[in-house]
Each structure stands twice: as C-alpha cells, then as structure tokens.
Structure 1
C-alpha cells in the first residue's frame, strides 16, 4: 500500500508563532529519506508557504490557496489550476455594493498579484497586509476597475461578521467558500474560490498522479473539512475546531506539541 500524507500548515504543522519546530523538520525530512510521500495543503500562497517551511525537504508537489493550485515545489510550475469564469463579476458587484472591498488574487500580464485599495482597508485587512510587507505580489490600486483586472483565482474579504455572513450563505453553493476566523487574530474572513478549487479535489488529483492507494491527512480548521472527508484516515490536532474533531479518525497532540510529527513516528511502521 502506498500512502500520501498531507498536512495543513497554519494551526497544524506550524506552531502558534508561525514556525516549524526543528523536531518536526528533522522528523519529516528523515521519513522522506526513507520514502514516505509527505506534502502540505494550505490556504497560503507558495511564496509565504515556502518562507514558513524553510528547511523542510518536500520533494513532491504541494497544494496552495486552499486547493486552487497544485505546484511543483522544486520548479514552481503550476501543475493544476482553477480560475474564475466571467460570472465572477457579479460577486464583485455584490461585495462592493455592500461596502466590502476584497483583496483580489489574480494573474496580471502573467504575473501573480494580490490587489487592494489602501484607503478601503479594514483593520483586519491592515493586520494581514502588515504580515505581507515586502511581498513582490503586492499591488496597491486606486480604482475598482484596477482591483478586478487580470485572471482572478481567489478573493479574500476581511470584515465584520454581520457583513460577511450573508455572502457566505449566498455564494456557498455556487463557489467554494470558506467562512472562518483567522488563526492568528480574531478577524473574520470570507474566502471565495472557484467551485473546483478545494483541498479535497487537489489531494485526490495528487494521489492519482503519484499512484497512491491511501490518504492520511492532518488539520485544524474549517478549510480542512473537505480534505478529511476524502481521506482514509484524518487526524485533528488538539487545538482544532470541534467540527473537525467530530469527523476525524482521531485527535492528536497540538500544533505546539509537534502533534503531526509525533503521530508519524508512532504510526509510520503500520502504514
């Protein structure tokens, strides 16, 4: 049996300070040398995922933007991609009409960018953008036309729950929508992706491409639920939300206690 191991990053593999412990790095690297197939599936971009996983030797493709892209970790070639169709204009119209100004991720002239209007930023957006200072993808714009230009693949709204929740209900059946609080702050996020973009779809495609028989996954949040549902075994870290623990195969140690790495050491022989 050939098993694909996939872990979420923030709140799962990463500690609460957004770092990997040396124990986790050494454990996964040693197991990778022995031939296990270990990848990650994150809401982050490849740019920020690589920063926080420095030292981790991931030789197989990784999943970013909640499954929007599967990317070769070595060459950075996009292997699988999901983009919005022209109907996304209606979403932008609804959000802007209701005073919600999103961060829009797009390819503009072939270059990945995230665009936003600085004077329309909420406190939550400012908090997020502060963590991305110096990011080469940053694209400050002044007009709505510039905000929604390019080939769009991801929309992030950070605002008050009473403003965002109605749009979660409105768009959840048409798109892949994640409505949750940021793991590092108390700000409410609404993330909108193409319907085909999900951790579950990306993991299943990666499983097929690698010729694996089974999937074992690890996670902590709402965006891991669909991945858990298609896994043969799925483990929630101790700090995970209750909804994820309910559907998990089991609950393991917390992200701050190297829960994933310790589980791998204890169980790798049976897999």
Structure 2
C-alpha cells in the first residue's frame, strides 16, 4: 500500500460548494482515499452541531476539530481525550464592557453547543440554529455564566478595524481574533494560541501520522496556520490570496471539485 496520509478538510468554501453541499465527485474521491487506507478528517470554525451532518455523510470515524481548534473530540469514541479550551469569562466580560454600543450590532457567545445572543435577530439566529442548539437571548452579562468556547462580535464594517486594534492592544496575551468572510462583518474571538493547526497536531499525533504526510485543504484566514503546518498545504482556487501565497499547492475552486482533482492527481486514486 502507498504511504498512509491524513487528509484534512475545512468545510465552508472548501469541502462544501457555495450551495453548502458536498459534490458527488468529491464524496466518491474521499471514499476511494479511505478505501486505499488514508485517513480523512474535518477541521472547521463551525461548532460540532453544525458540522456533524457532513461528518456522517462522509462516514468518518476520525476525531474532528471544531471552533478553529478550541474544541477537539471524537464523535464516535467517548474514551478519546477531548480537548476543550474556552475563553476566560472574565476576559469576555471585559471585552463586552469596553465596546461602545455604537460600534457593534450584536454579540454571540457559544458554550459548546449552547448559544447566547445579546439581541434577538432572525437572520443571525438562522445561521446559529443549525443542529438545534439551546438559544438564550438577552444581556450576556446576566445570562452567560460559563467560560465560552467562542465570542462573536457582529459589527458595522467601519467599526471592525477599531475593535480589532483595541483587542490587539489590550488582550493580545489572552485571546486571538479573526474577521469572518461572509455573510456580514463578524469578529470571532477564541482563547489565545488556538487555531486549526493546534487541533490538527493533536489528532495527527493520536493517529500516528507525521506532518509530512498531512494534506490539508482550506480557503480563508482561519486556515493559514493549518495550511502552513501540513506537509502539503493546499489552497482552494477561491481562497484568499494570503493563503495561496503560503500554500504548497493551489487547486481548483470549491465549486469545481478542487479537493477531488488534487487527490486524484496526488494519490493516484
């Protein structure tokens, strides 16, 4: 058998087409890769409840990286050592208190699969209701009692740079933050030092697969560390230029079976 590889898939803009589905060709190619002895896993910014559909659709039996590395677990193995690294509640409260009400439109905190929303917003809730979480609406100060896995600040486009600058100036040792691509301006905050590469290294070690045999696919800035960490980091054709610049390879877009095209060529499956 050819050397075993670990194939790592981001979801949005990578494994999923713009219609949020896995194409037949990509699904069939990943199945062939698994039949050939390769391991396949997901590493996403999404919570598990919003990624388990695709985990089961691919028939995976590997650990999964959720919340950009803040939560790493094995959906099928209760004994697997779960990693959950939330943000200190006190830090979140300080961030929330420091925000000028003019700067932001909403705040969303997620404690694993429980969602806390500051202001009721149907459009926002549609995005976060996937997987049917318990949703609490109201003042985060009052309702949020646990350390959250992530905090999202939905802000006006013009306010995003200022908020991020403030976070960089005052909380750099405690939290990391990123800008979401779509569907509206959102700053995502997780505990400092966490990213997909940290979660991926934990899983790769467990599977006994070295870095040089990891093939990772991504498209956004939350994939940068993972693409750099992997032996073969692959940027999607629709990916941001920053990612393409550091990737080992660039494949076709998420709507053109980019993952399948690359794996067929590289692994001869």
Q: Which residue of 2 aligns with 1:103?
A: 108
Q: Which residue of 1 aligns with 2:62?
A: 60
TM superposition shift of 1:181: 2.1
Normalising by structure 1, we get a TM-score of 0.86
Gap regions ≥5 residues in structure 1 = none
Determine if contact 1:118/1:140 at 8 Å carries over to the other structure: no
Determine if contact 2:67/2:149 at 8 Å carries over to the other structure: no
Determine if contact 1:117/1:147 at 8 Å carries over to the other structure: no
Say if 2:136 is the partner of 1:140.
yes
- In structure 2, the CA distance between the partners of 1:78 and 1:68, relative to structure 1 (3 Å rule), is farther
Q: Which residue of 2 aligns with 1:176?
A: 176
Q: Which residue of 1 aligns with 2:196?
A: 199
Q: Give the alignment's Cα RMSD to 1 decimal.
A: 2.2
- Distance, in Å, in 1 between the alignment partners of 2:135 and 2:142 is 10
- Distance, in Å, in 2 between the alignment partners of 1:150 and 1:83 is 9
- Any idea what SS the aligned residue of 1:17 has? coil
> Residue by residue, what CA displacement relative to the aligned partner does 1:205-251 show, whole Å, maximum 9, x if unpaired?
11111111122211100110111121211111111111111111121
- In structure 2, the CA distance between the partners of 1:246 and 1:57, relative to structure 1 (3 Å rule), is same
- Distance, in Å, in 1 between the alignment partners of 2:123 and 2:224 is 26
Determine if contact 1:58/1:73 at 8 Å carries over to the other structure: no
- Any idea what SS the aligned residue of 1:59 has? coil
Gap regions ≥5 residues in structure 2 = none
Which one of the candidate residues 38, 41, 44 is aligned to 1:42?
44
Normalising by structure 2, we get a TM-score of 0.87
- Any idea what SS the aligned residue of 1:181 has? coil
Q: How does 1:153-168 map to 2 (within 5 A)?
A: 153-168=149-164
Q: How does 1:1-271 map to 2 (within 5 A)?
A: 2-75=4-77, 79-85=82-88, 86-95=90-99, 100=104, 101-106=106-111, 112-119=113-120, 121=121, 126-133=122-129, 135-172=131-168, 173-174=172-173, 175-182=175-182, 185=183, 187-214=184-211, 215-269=214-268
TM superposition shift of 1:262: 1.8
Determine if contact 1:177/1:193 at 8 Å carries over to the other structure: yes
- Distance, in Å, in 2 between the alignment partners of 1:244 and 1:170 is 25
- Distance, in Å, in 1 between the alignment partners of 2:179 and 2:147 is 23
TM superposition shift of 1:148: 2.5
| Equivalent residue pairs, number | 258
Which segment drifts farther, 95-104 or 259-268? 95-104
- Any idea what SS the aligned residue of 1:43 has? coil
- Any idea what SS the aligned residue of 1:60 has? coil
Which segment drifts farther, 82-91 or 135-144? 135-144
- Any idea what SS the aligned residue of 1:178 has? strand
